[in-house]
Amino acid sequence: MSENSMFLLFLFIGYAVVWIGIVGYMLYVAARLRAVERDLDSLRGMREENPDEPRDSASSDG
């Protein structure tokens, strides 16, 4: 393989790594987001079952 095509190969590997890394990271965040949303929904469900509880205190965040 010529010098130049070796360079091109490394260039390709380099950018492949960059994009696989970034996209992989984004997929990881999306998966975590879905899992946490599921948790949140189940917790909300638990609260719905006890409607006499005070609600206002839950909005402490923000």
Partner 1 sequence: MLAGGSRSIWGLTAATFIAMSAAIYMIFMYAPMERVQGNIQRLFYAHMSMAWIAYLSFFMVFVGGAIYLARRSAKWDRIARSAATIGVVFTTLVLITGCLWGTRVWGACWTWDARLTTTLILWFIYVGYLMLRGYIQEPQSRRRLAAIVGIAGFVVVPINFLSVYWWRTLHPAPTVLRADGPTLPPPMLATLLVTVFAFTLLYVLLMRHQMALERLIDEVDDMQFQLLLTERKL
- Considering the rule CB under 8 A, would residue 44 count as an interface residue with partner 1? yes
**Torsion angle of the four alpha carbons 47, 52, 56, 61, in this order, in degrees rounded to the nearest 10:** -20
CB 33 within 8 A of CB 41: no
CB 19 within 8 A of CB 25: no
- Considering the rule CB under 8 A, would residue 27 count as an interface residue with partner 1? no
- Considering the rule CB under 8 A, would residue 50 count as an interface residue with partner 1? yes
Q: Which runs of consecutive H residues, i.e. helices, occur in 1-62?
A: 3-48
Among 4, 23, 48, 51, binds partner 1 (CB under 8 A): 4
By CB under 8 A, name the binding residues for partner 1: 3-4, 6-8, 10-11, 13-15, 17-18, 21-22, 25-26, 29-30, 32-33, 36-37, 39-40, 43-44, 46-47, 50, 53-54, 57-58, 60-61
